[in-house]
Structure 1
Amino acid sequence: MKVLGKWKKPILMLSDAVLINLAYILAFFFIYNYKNFRFYSSSYKEIALTVTVIYITCFYIFKLYESLWRYASIDEFMLVIGACLTSNIVMIAFVRIIGHPFAYGVSIIACAFSIIFIVGLRMSFRVYGRFESIVNCNASKIVQSRVMIIGAGSAAAMVIKEMKSSSQSKYMPIAVIDDEVYKKGNTIAGVKVLGNRKDIPKIVIEKNIETILIAIPTIDDEDKEEILEICKKTNCKIEIIPGMYEIINGKVSLNQIRKVEIEDLLGRKAVKLDMQGITSYITNKTILVTGGGGSIGSELCRQIIKFNPKQLIVFDIYENNAYDLQMELEYKYPKLDLLVLIGSVRDKKRLEDVFKKYSPDIVFHAAAHKHVPLMENSPMEAIKNNVFGTYNVAECAHKFNVERFVMISTDKAVNPTNVMGATKRMCEMIIQSMDKISKTHFVAVRFGNVLGSNGSVIPLFKKQIEHGGPVTLTNKYITRFFMTIPEAAQLVLQSGAYAQGGEIFVLDMGKPVKIYDLAWDLIKLSGFTPDKDIKIEITGLRPGEKLYEELLMSEEGLTNTKHEKIFIGKPTFTDLSVMKEKMLELAVIIEKDDVQLLIDKIGEIVPTYNRTLAEVSTSQPESATM
């Protein structure tokens, strides 16, 4: 089509005119014997121009000259059929009006020939495009991966067609897998269905498959988990097309194909929210999110927007993250009343100015230093930011009559063995004691590691794999609770709806996951063999690190909420005067810059803090209970 350039439409019209008239001449030949052919066909000359104009006009109305025919689908071919049938009907009506002796049989056969010729011409562009793609691919020496597609449905058909038609495609479709017995032996878009999911390992070897693509947008978690377990037995890269809710207008394309992530392997079901409960406390309210540019904070902002707040205020010290989020939200939600403010939770005066000027109704406090090893080396900064920062925001919430204050906590606050965890436990103590003297409902939400968040283990493993390894982890038996970023943010919002004051909401994180298994799976999903292509190295536990985390202290107990994934731990500290006294002592120690004295004071404030617990043996724990 490139060679036609600006002459595409005139050339197509001229070609169509020739083919239409050829169709009518052949129709006369079929209807009448050779002797009468000349007599009857000569009368056609009188109306040939009219026939041509009628057909070309109908083709133009049906927009046959606007399609990119090298990418034509069934929709375009249906338009050709519709245009030819319409033209034929108009033609029959015309000859009857003028009284021309034109047989119905000629019209019907001519219409059939017209469809065949016009479709054939258009098909030639697709054939040319396919040939050009093959030539260009060979010329550019693009290395194509041999692909097995799982799922012989419409999504697979679209993906295979695009793989074949794109000259820049890095995929070569070789085989299709589907569990429907009747599909075996048939072809989809020219690629044969060779078996079901149980045949995957065998077919991978027989067909030298390099990449496995799961092309079932409606696949449920149980089936996906089972298929992935089978695929992990091969040495193939594993990729997936997004679920139907992620696909705009139901279209599937190669640029939507993504790598299989750890989230897919965990098989976590989508969180079901009490939409009405969340709507009742967020809609038409001014919402402030501290640390709004971070992993959890930014996702909270994305989720909050869905409930139509009056105004969303993003407060963060790190301007790059805040700016990126601002650009994203302003682009996606141009009508949103968004305010992005730069400032630190350590700055009490700045916070008071913000609360006084904008009067937030709800505060989500996500600002914190969270990296365990870094806080072990900088405990003073952990206290300044996490403890005093939380106290500053909480005091402002109380002073300016905020309705609800929801703080993001962590499982590391339970029996902490590191400074970061101990400071988050102190934050919980602050909000529980503050709740006793305030009209504001102060609550905390405690959960474990968040997949894909800044500084989490998964992005680190991915970078190490990209660089050829080794993948490093601290202990072969170390386990952690994991949750996706959207899942965590949604449950935080849901917890806010249940807030009565003083609760620590504990999220059901599912079963604890061995970090070693995560590393192994990531290497396999990347198409490598663990400990052969990519080494796994054990480096030893870092200072303050536990083998496994807990979500609940023994004295807290658990009560249910309306949501199956959210539980409540009862308050264990409620004396604000004692907390203020301890914080004054911390401030004095910080002025002295005495780290050892600071560590001792942390242990005094948080009796469950025990750094020696990090020095555990490397024996495998029985379980990590909630």
Structure 2
Amino acid sequence: MNFLFNRYVILLLDAFFSLAAFWLSFFVRSEFQTDILYKEHFYHGIIPVVVIQTAVFLLLGTHKLSLLRITFEDSVRLLTSIAVGAGAAGGFLYFSHPSGYPRSIFVLYPMILAGLVISLRFFGRFAHEERHRTKKKAAKPTGSVMKSIIIAGAGTSGVQLVRALRHQNRIRIVGFLDDDPLLQGKELCNLPILGRTEDVIQIAAKVPFQEIIIAMPSASGDRLKRLLGLLRPLGVPIKTMPNLTDFVEGKNPATQLRSINLEDLLRRDPVILDLSQIERHLRGNCVLVTGAAGSIGSELCRQIVQFMPDHLLLVDVAESPLYEIECELKERFPELNCTAVLLDLRDRSLLNDLFASHEPQIVFHAAAYKHVPMVELNPKSGIINNIEGGKNVADLALEFQCERFILISTDKAVNPTNLMGATKRVLEKYILGLNGRGNCRFITVRFGNVLGSKGSLIPIFERQLKQGGPLTVTHPEITRFFMTIPEATQLVLQAASMGRGGEIFVLDMGEPVRIMEIARDFIELHGFEVGIDVDIAITGLRPGEKLFEELFAINEAQEKTSHKKILMAKQSAQVVVDAEVDRLIESATSQNGDIASVLKAIVPEYQPTAMDPPEPHLRIHRPS
């Protein structure tokens, strides 16, 4: 049966079906008489029809469509090719035959051909699935225990998952759960729709099962959280398919199943991008990414390579992570022209050589010290690295006439209470002052915390849970904005392509989330109970830490853009701070420099906060 899946065998079969459909259309037109009418017309048209129809099939690539999965889009493509072929052949024959041509033939012909070619696809899929079912039965070990599962979600993803799981031994699919009222009491893939998700307790009493798989890759975090609340009391394993951002097209869905993680519960609607706009600014250009080995920088690189830059420069001071991202990109994209550059951005001379030798057109500046407590304890290093390094890159982008310079900023730059946030605000102001001095467009993109970055909340919670707890939270009411790394970087690319220069774009982070709530969800996702299995300890606010972050300063007007998830912070006035920034760097590099007063002169809203007295190991139990 394998020959049936060869694309050229499919093309030959489609050509044969074209011939058969043409003959059958005359047979029907002759009222099912074996001695068909219009014999001359049939013999005159058979070769042109088959040749034209086969050529259209070949041009539209219908022979390349998989017989294993006939989708709605595939059916539309098949019907389009039949309509185009029938129209072209009909026009040719109608005008080439001296006595005209019976028009009913070209009504019957495409209808019959459509039935034949689509039937072939369904037969191929049926034969493939039947063969796998036979193999599965033959391979089933004597006395083996089948695991019964229920799939929550009867959409396209659920159907794909059923087809994949049916080929696996030791799995029995009981049915679907779905909240669509039109599906209740129906069947899908020969499996019953058992009921709504809210009825799962009653369903479990009637139909025993050992696992639930949530097949809703586009579901929001809130919907997943509600689902978990319904499913968790059953005490069975709950797995999910990855969200649309992480879903690998063409890969077996069964191999992508995993446990639900915290990122799933904070998931938002998928980002809609203007890909053509992004591609216009990246395709064929030399793109430089600083901080390329970091969480944001490395994901930026992964996203950028999909738009086929001419050359990608990965710049970082961390050797091992830089080597890892270079290897990853070259493995995934063998044709990629990619160069890893081990470079300290404070070294103006080496940085100048890099710009001179490669002349990048687009620069993404993601390099920075980001940990608030660390920068608070090392203020001079923080200023020299974040401000001097960023200033060097921005100055050279202006000098070498790059097309765009994009600064990755943070919500901590708004009304900063810590030095890290203040350094980012200094850079925001500095590059705003550079815009308009040359051809380079200077753009800032500001956003909040990203999930899963190195040294951030999730990795810390994972380490603490492995040690048996407690999970530490600095304050019961502390909140933060959160976004996944892929979502943030995709929106950065979109904002970068939208910018005309001088903008501070602000990503729509949604609603702030209480860290205490995240800690509780994290514990429960791992099958533990708060206050019984694992405790949460309040440790007190750290130096420079705020109870809540802000995305817009008081003197910034919030404006909408053409993208609903990208806003703009309109500045009240553009201030040139070149001299003050030079003085700040000089203060940080000297022994007795007055950092605080110079920093306040540039960022008057900078208000360092006092540290709360710590309350180590204060237990917070789950409310009754």
Would you call these one fold, judging by a TM-score over 0.5?
Answer: yes
SS of residue paired to 1:520:
helix
Correspondence for 1:298: 298
Q: By how many angstroms is 1:558 displaced? A: 1.8
Alignment match, 2:318: 318
Answer whether contact 1:149 1:212 (CA < 8 A) is retained.
yes
Deviation at 1:491, TM superposition (A): 1.1
Partner of 1:335: 335
Of 603, 606, 610 in structure 2, the residue corresponding to residue 609 of structure 1 is 606
Deviations 1:431-480 (A, max 9, x none): 11122433311111110001111122122223323343221111121111
**Map of 1:496 onto structure 2:** 496
Return closer, same or farther for 1:147/1:432 CA change in 2, 3 Å cut-off. Answer: same
CA distance in 2, matches of 1:233, 1:416: 44
1:407 aligned residue: 407
Q: Could you tell me which amino acid in structure 2 is paired with residue 396 of structure 1? A: L
C-alpha displacement of 1:331: 1.4
Tell me how far apart the structure 1 counterparts of residues 130 and 421 of structure 2 sit (CA, whole Å). Answer: 71
Q: Give the match's secondary structure for 2:341.
A: strand
Structure 2: how far apart are the matches of 1:401 and 1:74?
50
Q: 3-state DSSP class of the match of 2:250?
A: helix
Question: Residues 420-435 of structure 1: matches in 2 within 5 Å?
Answer: 420-435=420-435
Q: 2:307 maps to which residue?
A: 307
Question: How many Å separate the matches in 1 of 2:130 and 2:439?
Answer: 77
Percent of aligned positions that are identical: 39
Equivalent runs, 1:63-102 vs 2, <5 Å: none
Aligned to 1:48: none
Question: In 2 relative to 1, CA 146–372 (structure 1 residues): closer, same or farther, beyond 3 Å?
Answer: farther
**Cα distance, 1:425 vs. partner?**
0.8
Q: CA shift at 1:378, angstroms?
A: 1.1
- Secondary structure of the structure 2 residue equivalent to 1:444: strand
Aligned partner letter, 2:475: N
Distance 1:172 1:281, change over 3 A: same
- Residues 237 and 524, structure 1, Cα contact 8 Å, conserved in 2: no
Structure 1 segment 417-496 matched on structure 2, within 5 A: 417-496=417-496
Supply the distance in 2 between the matched residues of 1:566 and 1:180 (Cα, whole angstroms): 33
For residues 472 and 314 of structure 2, the distance between their equivalents in structure 1, rounded to whole angstroms, comes to 35
- For these two proteins, the number of residue pairs brought into alignment is 486
Cα separation, 1, equivalents of 2:516 and 2:206: 31
Please say which of residues 489-498 and 348-357 is displaced more in the overlay: 489-498
- What CA distance in whole angstroms lies between the structure 1 residues aligned with 2:582 and 2:234? 56
2:552 matched residue in structure 1: 552
Q: How does 1:177-576 map to 2 (within 5 A)?
A: 177-179=177-179, 194-201=194-201, 211-216=211-216, 224=224, 226-231=226-231, 237-242=237-242, 246-249=247-250, 251-253=252-254, 255-571=255-571, 574-576=574-576
SS in 1 for 2:609: helix
Partner of 1:32: none
Distance change in 2, residues 1:536/1:382 (3 Å): same
Which of 105, 126, 130 is the equivalent residue of 2:140? 130
Counterpart residue identity of residue 305, structure 2: I
String of CA shifts for 1:480-535, please: whole Å, max 9, x gaps: 11111111111111111222222211111111111111111122222222222222
Residue 157 of structure 1: which of 158, 162, 165 is its match?
A: 162
Distance in 2 of aligned mates of 1:159 and 1:310: 39
**Partner letter of residue 474 of structure 2?**
T
CA apart distance, 1:248: 3.5
Q: Secondary structure at the match of 1:272?
A: coil
What's the C-alpha RMSD, in Å, of the aligned pairs? 3.5
Offset of residue 379 of structure 1 = 1.2
> Measured at CA, do residues 268 and 123 of structure 1 come closer, stay the same or move farther in structure 2, by a change above 3 Å?
closer
**Paired position in structure 1 for 2:120:** none
Does the 8 A contact of 1:225 with 1:267 survive in 2? no
User: 1:447 is aligned with what amino acid?
Assistant: F
Cα distance in 1, alignment partners of residues 418 and 604 from structure 2: 13
- C-alpha distance in 2 between matches for 1:180 and 1:272: 25
Shift of 1:547: 0.6
1:94 is matched with which residue?
none
Aligned 8 A contact 2:587 2:595 in 1: no
Determine helix, strand or coil for the equivalent of 2:582: helix
- Partners of 2:384 and 2:588 within 8 A in 1: no
Q: What is the DSSP-based 3-state SS (H/G/I as helix, E as strand, rest coil) of the residue aligned with 2:369?
A: coil
Larger Rg: 1
Q: Is the contact made by 1:237 and 1:525 (CA closer than 8 Å) also made in structure 2? A: no
Deviation at 1:342, TM superposition (A): 0.8
Post-superposition offset of 1:237: 4.6
Query: Do 2:219 and 2:269's aligned partners in 1 also have CA atoms closer than 8 Å?
Result: no
Q: Deviations over 1:248-305 (max 9, x none)?
A: 336322x311222333223411111122322222221111111111111111112112
Counterpart position of 1:28: none
Amino acid at match of 2:564: E
Contact 1:292 1:301 in 2 (8 A): yes
Q: Distance in 2 between matches of 1:270 and 1:460?
A: 27
SS at match of 2:253: coil
Change (3 A) 1:151 1:442: closer
Paired letter, 2:361: D
Q: Contact conserved, 2:545 with 2:609, CA < 8 A, in 1? A: no
CA deviations on 1:340-376 (whole Å, 9 max, x unpaired) are 1110111111110000000001100000000111111
Give TM-score scaled by structure 1 length. Answer: 0.70
Q: Which AA in structure 1 matches 2:500?
A: Q
Q: What one-letter code is carried by the residue in structure 2 that aligns with 1:288?
A: L
Alignment of 1:16-31 (within 5 A): none
Contact 1:155 1:217 in 2 (8 A): no
Structure 1, unmatched stretches of 5+, are 1-72, 76-118, 138-143, 619-626
Deviation of residue 230 (structure 1)? Answer: 2.7
- Bigger shift: 565-574 or 295-304? 565-574
Q: Write the distance in 2 (CA, Å) between the matches of 1:414 and 1:262.
A: 27
| Change beyond 3 A, Cα 1:510–1:337 | same
Shifted more, 518-527 versus 210-219: the winner is 210-219
Give distance in 2, aligned partners of 1:496 and 1:509.
Answer: 17
Unaligned 5+ runs, structure 2: 1-67, 71-128, 616-624
Cα distance in 2 between the residues matched to 1:293 and 1:200: 45
For residues 606 and 167 of structure 2, what CA distance do their matches in structure 1 show?
58
Please give the secondary structure, in 2, of the residue aligned with 1:530: coil
Match of 1:580 in 2: 579
Partners of 1:290 and 1:325 lie apart in 2 by 13
Q: Which amino acid aligns with 1:591?
A: S
